[in-house]
Amino acid sequence: MFSDVSGLEVLTLVVMAIIIFGPDKLPKLIQDTMNVIRKIRSFADNAKEDIRSELGPEFKDFEFEDLNPKTFVRKQLMGDQDDPLGLKDMKDSLDIRSVLDDKPAAPVNGRSGSVSFEKSDPAPASAGAPLAPGERPPFDPDAT
């Protein structure tokens, strides 16, 4: 959370705290702040335990961090744990190149053909004469 705070900034904050609150009130302020942080943590832990107990025994291994989409994807698709949904088998069996090579491509706009991953020349313009080498295409300010 505070990984981008440098040492100079921390020192500045400490000096400002000493100036604002004074050296005699600062220890009491730090102690009160730590007590508030402990109470908030215990409240959050109790709330998590209450939610786990209300969900029942099916969710005894439930972790709130799993609700983060990045964590869920990492655990389910990358195989960090059991695979209850069968996603790992799907990932292993899916090879996009074999799918594209085995089936003929569906016609698009009345054209049939195959999909290629190789670089090709750009398609010619659909209207107008072809451009000469070095000639700039016409500019339409209403189209941009």
* Chain length of the chain: 144
Q: Which residues contact 65 (CB under 8 A, 6 or more apart)?
A: 71
Predicted structure pTM score: 0.41
Condensed to tens digits (0 to 9), the pLDDT of residues 23-75 reads: 889 899 999 999 999 999 999 999 988 888 888 888 777 777 777 888 777 77
Angle at 132 between CA 131 and CA 133, to 5 degrees: 115
Which pLDDT does position 80 carry in this prediction?
46
H helices of 56-130, in order, are 69-77, 87-93, 96-102
Tokens representing 17?
């705290």
* Residue-wise pLDDT tens digits, 86-96: 666 666 666 66
* Amino acid identity, position 5: V
What's the rounded Cα separation, in Å, for the pair 50 and 131?
71
